């Protein structure tokens, strides 16, 4: 199955370390960061799962739930959690999906046979409260992800949705944002106040959430 931005995130039922879930029901009206790992008891995965647990408050502030998938069974997930908590100095507070038959991995196109036909790649999906896929990222197994970047993308998505703006390169919360080309400059000044016009198509305004 090929997924595209704006598609509805496919629903599924699965067993997790927190019991059986229906994905859409579990997500509720929250944003969701859904990511996959090649396998349990692997070094890069252990650091990533621990990092996401340590960022719990950051995700909560953004109304974002976290859930991770691995192709190993639940009993192995529970054993692995002990290692994650001990080595990463954290407490696991979000579920790990067991996907032994790889049905969910195939549903979300997490299997890339030219890389590995038995393990998932490092996929990330950011899903909004309407269950629409807003971001898709794919990393090879050997490269750990930067979850500070995923938080940054969440901030940008939520700001854009609320204020109808765009964010420039390397944007961080509080930085100036971009006025969309569809908004005339005078209307932008009525809406946002201060607008700097570098070019007719390139206009910057202060972060509207900071006012």
Same domain, 129 and 201: no
Mean residue pLDDT of the chain comes to 93
The whole-number average pLDDT for the span 109-138 is 81
CATH, residue 101: 3.40.30.10
Examine the fold and report which residue of 93, 111, 145 is the final residue of a domain before the chain moves on.
145
The whole-number average pLDDT for the span 71-82 is 96
Q: With 80 as the cut, is the pLDDT of residue 117 above it?
A: no
Same domain, 23 and 102: yes
Same domain, 205 and 133: no
Contact 201, 181 (CB under 8 A): yes
Nearest to 174 by CA among 150, 203, 149, 210: 210
Same domain, 178 and 77: no
pLDDT at residue number 141: 82
High-pLDDT (> 90) share of the chain, %: 84
Residue 2 inside a domain? The answer is no
Q: pLDDT per residue over 7-34, tens digit each?
A: 999 999 999 999 999 999 999 999 999 9
Nearest 5°: the CA angle 211, 172, 141 is 150
Same domain, 47 and 95: yes
Examine the fold and report which residue of 97, 116, 145 is the final residue of a domain before the chain moves on.
145
Same domain, 141 and 184: no
Number of domains in the chain: 2
149 contacts: CB under 8 Å, gap ≥ 6? none
C-alpha R_g of the chain: 19
Same domain, 176 and 82: no
What residues are annotated to the active site?
45
Same domain, 206 and 139: no
What letter does residue 11 receive in the DSSP assignment? P
Q: Would the pTM count as exceeding 0.75?
A: yes
Q: How confident is the model at residue 112 (pLDDT cuts 50, 70, 90)?
A: low
Same domain, 177 and 119: no
CATH, residue 177: 3.30.1020.10
Same domain, 99 and 200: no
pLDDT at residue number 142: 84
Q: pLDDT per residue over 140-163, tens digit each?
A: 888 899 999 999 999 999 999 999
Q: pLDDT per residue over 27-41, tens digit each?
A: 999 999 999 988 899
Q: How confident is the model at residue 208 (pLDDT cuts 50, 70, 90)?
A: very high
Residue 4 inside a domain? The answer is no
Domain that holds residue 186: 164-210
Q: With 70 as the cut, is the pLDDT of residue 1 above it?
A: no
Same domain, 112 and 193: no
Residue burial 6-37, b: 16+ Cβ < 10 Å; e: rest: eeebeebebbbbeeebebbebbeebbbbbbbb
């Amino acid at each position: 199955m090929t997924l595209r931005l704006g598609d509805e995130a496919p629903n599924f039922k699965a067993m997790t370390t927190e019991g059986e879930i229906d994905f859409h029901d579990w997500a509720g009206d929250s944003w969701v960061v859904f990511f996959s790992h090649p396998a349990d008891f692997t070094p890069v995965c252990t650091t990533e799962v621990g990092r996401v647990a340590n960022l719990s408050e950051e995700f909560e502030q953004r109304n974002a739930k976290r859930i991770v998938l691995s192709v190993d069974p639940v009993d192995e997930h529970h054993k692995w959690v002990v290692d994650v908590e001990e080595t990463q100095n954290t407490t696991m507070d979000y579920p790990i999906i067991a996907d032994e038959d790889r049905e969910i991995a195939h549903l979300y196109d997490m299997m890339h046979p030219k890389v590995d036909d038995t393990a998932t790649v490092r996929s990330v999906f950011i899903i909004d409260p309407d269950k629409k896929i807003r971001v898709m990222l794919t990393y090879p197994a050997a490269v750990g992800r930067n979850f500070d970047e995923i938080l940054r993308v969440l901030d940008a998505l939520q700001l854009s949705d609320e204020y109808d703006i765009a964010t420039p390169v390397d944007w961080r919360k509080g930085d100036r944002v971009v006025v969309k080309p569809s908004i005339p400059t005078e209307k932008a000044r009525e809406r946002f106040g201060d607008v700097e016009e570098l070019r007719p198509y390139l206009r910057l305004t202060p972060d509207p959430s900071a006012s």
